[in-house]
Structure 1
Amino acid sequence: MSRVEIREAELNDRDALRGLMNTYIYDFYHYPRPEEEKLENLLDVLMEKKAGTQFVAVYDGELVGFATLYFTYSTLRTGKVVIMNDLFVTEKCRIQGVGTKLFRACNQYAAYNGYVAMLWETSKANENAQKFYEKMGGEREEWYPYSIKPVIGVGD
């Protein structure tokens, strides 16, 4: 797997990234397939590299993985943090070091750009990812993630 190239996504990766993102969302996590326009808008944002960026793994000319970073701040850490929102490698390339290379590229990006932390989360059911992140030196936080779908008029 030494022929794996890890780099920031480029415009010409867009079609392959769209396919990988759909595989990640729909096939891997079984979320509803995203609306095409929404996925295109997200790709636009990531290609601008202002609110976030993506790294890709290329093996023999084929995109086989990606990692998505979003930029924000942490009051508790009093500085910039990067959130690794996704790290995905196609099934045929798992356990071949591609995920490790993507993770390290994201971590180095955070270090070189002055972020005080790289944060991420994974599904409670994704035990393989949990083992991987622990192997990479990740530590579980003492915080519980929550989410809510925004609704107009609630709490008025």
Structure 2
Amino acid sequence: MTQVTIREATTQDIPQLRTLMLAYIVDFYEYRRPEDEKLDSLIHLLLEQKEGVQFVAETEEGVLVGFATLYFTYSTLRASKIAIMNDLYVIEAERGQGAAQKLFVACKGYAARNGYANLSWTTHKENFRAQKFYDKMGGELGEWLSYSINPTIGLGD
């Protein structure tokens, strides 16, 4: 079992973090590859820790094997700031060995220490492994349905 340390991402992590994020986006979720400039811009934005933060799972050899991303926003119903865990990803070879749990705990701890009223997340309806993991971590399936739209579709109609 590989021992991993969880810590906040730094600028030194950018090359490995970029590779992990691309594996998550393109290989795992089968989305199209984002433009390099957009991905780099997002990584740098998260390193500023004003709109979000990223945690990385690092082996003793300095290899990043996972990451989790929190974004910061507000809840009108709670009249307070909330954190959204938008990503939690661990490479296939390291799954089931505790890295995901450590990343999740880091996100939860960050939200608690920084006064966030809620930590929420979503996962794909067919990602049963993630659903089982979140149930194990004490997550509760919410009452709200998640919708999304591409804002550029239908403009000018």
* Same fold (TM > 0.5): yes
Q: Which residue of 2 aligns with 1:11?
A: 11
SS at match of 1:58: strand
Q: Which residue of 2 aligns with 1:124?
A: 125
Displacement of 1:44: 1.3
Contact 2:2 2:94 survives alignment (8 Å): no
Contact 2:26 2:32 survives alignment (8 Å): yes
Displacement of 1:155: 8.0
SS at match of 2:43: helix
Amino acid at match of 1:107: K
Query: For residues 92-103 of structure 1, what are the structure 2 equivalents within 5 Å?
Result: 92-103=93-104
Amino acid at match of 1:147: S
Give CA deviations for 1:59-87 in whole Å, capped at 9, x if unaligned.
Answer: 13100000000000001122110000000
Q: How many residues align?
A: 156
Amino acid at match of 1:121: T
Q: Give the whole-Å Cα distance in 1 for the aligned partners of 2:139 and 2:152.
A: 34
1:150 matches 2:157: no
1:83 matches 2:70: no
Displacement of 1:154: 3.7
Q: Which residue of 1 aligns with 2:67?
A: 66
CA RMSD of aligned residues (A): 1.5
What is the TM-score normalised by the length of structure 2? 0.95
Amino acid at match of 1:145: S
SS at match of 1:151: coil
Structure 1 runs of 4+ with >4 Å offset: none
SS at match of 1:45: helix
1:111 matches 2:112: yes
Q: Which residue of 1 aligns with 2:52?
A: 52
Q: Give the whole-Å Cα distance in 1 for the aligned partners of 2:12 and 2:88.
A: 20
List gaps (5 residues or longer) in structure 2: none
Q: Give the whole-Å Cα distance in 1 for the aligned partners of 2:64 and 2:2.
A: 15
1:41 matches 2:41: yes
What is the TM-score normalised by the length of structure 1? 0.96
Amino acid at match of 1:19: T
Displacement of 1:108: 0.3
Q: Give the whole-Å Cα distance in 2 for the aligned partners of 1:118 and 1:131.
A: 18
Amino acid at match of 1:103: F
